[in-house]
Amino acid sequence: MRSPARDKTPKSNVEFSRAMPFPAPDPNTVLARLEAVYGVTEWSPRFGAMDELIACILSQHTSDVNSLRAFDNLKRQYPEWEAVIAASVQEIADTIRSGGLANSKAARIQEVLQRILSLEGRISLDCLDAMPDAEARAYLMALPGVGPKTAAIVLSFALGRPVIPVDTHIFRVAWRLGLIEKKLGEARAHDSLQAQIAPEIVYRFHVALINHGRAVCKAPRPRCGQCVLTDLCRYFHEQSIQNPTE
């Protein structure tokens, strides 16, 4: 029995484009283009490691304005971290109310402070200074409720380590560009993205992607017409194939 003849009709340009994988962009090229738009941000510490950790806990599920107001209120009411442990959860919650989820955050802050006190004999993260990045990250992630993003923020923002925190903006821009797969999720994206970025540009890359995510690569509808990365972007490439007339 003769097998059916194969269709020798040449593939259309659209079919060919769909069959060809779109290459991931070079992070250095991405950074150069974004810094040409948003400027270069050099690292400088905002807080020490201990303050940064607590500020990060307060920042969860709220705006920067509200979380910083809560942090300022907390530091004003309790200048020493030992006083936060000594206070009641309700007193702490009332102090940080502007940051949202005050009751759960108050309890979590006390748990973290108590754990550090039991480990170090004092409330300090100076121990991180002598640790390699991986060990310092593991130490932080062993604290109650501290995940990869919070650990990376402390290491990057407070200590200047070449560790990239992946928040919702960075995750969205990174998977749209094709640097990571969307299915990874934010929690697992840190290591995958980290492996692609030279240590000396990690902080600048982090800031540049956040700026771009807030200004142009928005969710759910990115402003591709204003983007300087469209020729490097897998998302733009795929959307152009699916909607060639748009």
User: Under 8 Å CB-to-CB from 119, ≥6 apart: which residues?
Assistant: none
**Cis bond upstream, residue 220 (ω within 30):** yes
**CB 81, CB 74: distance < 8 Å:** no
Tell how far CA 125 is from the center of its chain: 21
Q: Which residues are catalytically annotated? A: 149
Tokens of 23: 């290459």
For the chain, give the longest Cα–Cα distance. 88
Residue 199's CB is within 10 A of a number of other CB atoms, namely: 11
Nearest-angstrom CA–CA distance, 168 and 242: 25
| DSSP character string of 151-194 | HHHIIIIIT--S-----HHHHHHHHHHTSS-GGGHHHHHHHHHH
Q: Under a CB-based contact definition with an 8 Å cutoff, are residues 58 and 100 in contact?
A: no
